[in-house]
Amino acid sequence: MYPQLSISTLLNSGDLAQSLTALLSGDRYRVTQFSSENELFDFIELEKQQIDCLILQASSNLNSLVEQLQRRAILLPAVVLKSETATRSHESEQLETLNPTESILPAPNTAQIHQTSLSCTYHIATVEVSITEVDRMVQLIHQAIVQFLKLSPTHHTPSLQPASDLVAELTSQNSLMLQQRRLTEKLKERLGYLSVYYKREHKNFLRYLPPDEKQKFLKKLKSNYSNIVLIYFSGEEQLNQKIDDFVNMAFFADVSVSQIVEVHMELIDEFSKQLKLEGRSDDILLDYRLTLIDTIAHLCEMYRRSIPRDF
């Protein structure tokens, strides 16, 4: 059983609340829903050390809640659901401010719009999306946590205090660092291997790398695997560490099992050609199927224990 993430919501729509309850049902989430700003704020004051993410629906009353949280230096991962009309309206305002040269540029894709055009009223790591994307809530929660953990203490939120109010700013920065440390430790303690998932960067995935970087990565991956093969039956103590290093490299680049098999086959084929040139039998290479099985087993276990089952 996966340990639970604690989610608190403030939603105006009953249908939306029901949808979220269905989406986050199961043993991975503990959802506490509120329809009143005061009830949510009181709960946050008491339970902020236990809340892993806020889900808020944009409304005319949301700003007052955000201002209270900012004034009291309460910073938490957050997802804000905005109406589709409001999202389009904001994007139209952004386009109207462009000069003629800018207006002929290609329009950004949806992902870029979400990152750059929606206003961040709570802190800059807030994930703000259209309410139509509620079906992606599991991914959005994970994104909010990732961005929050990367939030810089010196650049996190629009200041509501005068620039000269150093005490207020330092209090806010300290609160952020404490929350980040608390959440990081909580993920490690409660989620174990699952916390590793939050450290992965999609931009570093093998399939997203430019061709030259991809070839460089595969060359390094093959070299590391070759080192494992060469000492696999030697009994060296370094073997387990080399396998772990190889698996970590593959995991953070989201390398598939089929690609690992391909690396193995290419390497064994090279060894076979070399043995034949030396006039020796390549039958011994069959034993290295154990190397492949062992490595894949480690990699599969890493994926099994690390990636949320919701994905």
pLDDT tens, residue by residue, 213-248: 999 999 999 999 999 999 998 878 788 889 989 998
The rounded distance, in Å, linking the Cα atoms of 141 and 165 is 33
Based on the structure, what is the number of domains in the chain?
2
In a shared domain, residues 40 and 126: yes
Residue 85, pLDDT score: 55
In a shared domain, residues 173 and 247: no
311 inside domain: no
- Provide the whole-model pTM: 0.51
Residue 105, pLDDT score: 30
24 inside domain: yes
Q: Within 13 A of 194's CA, how many CA atoms are on the CB side?
A: 19
3-state helix, strand, coil in the chain (%, to 5): 60, 10, 30
135 inside domain: yes
In a shared domain, residues 171 and 235: no
The rounded distance, in Å, linking the Cα atoms of 306 and 302 is 6
The rounded distance, in Å, linking the Cα atoms of 267 and 289 is 12
Residue range of the domain that includes 133: 5-197
Cα dihedral: 196, 199, 203, 209 (round 10)? -50
In a shared domain, residues 295 and 170: no
The rounded distance, in Å, linking the Cα atoms of 167 and 175 is 12
For the chain, list residues with pLDDT below 70: 1-3, 84-121, 152-176, 179, 182-199, 305-311
Single residue among 182, 197, 212 that ends a domain in this structure: 197
Closest C-alpha among 89, 76, 55, 72 to residue 123: 76
**Structure tokens of 137?**
């809530």
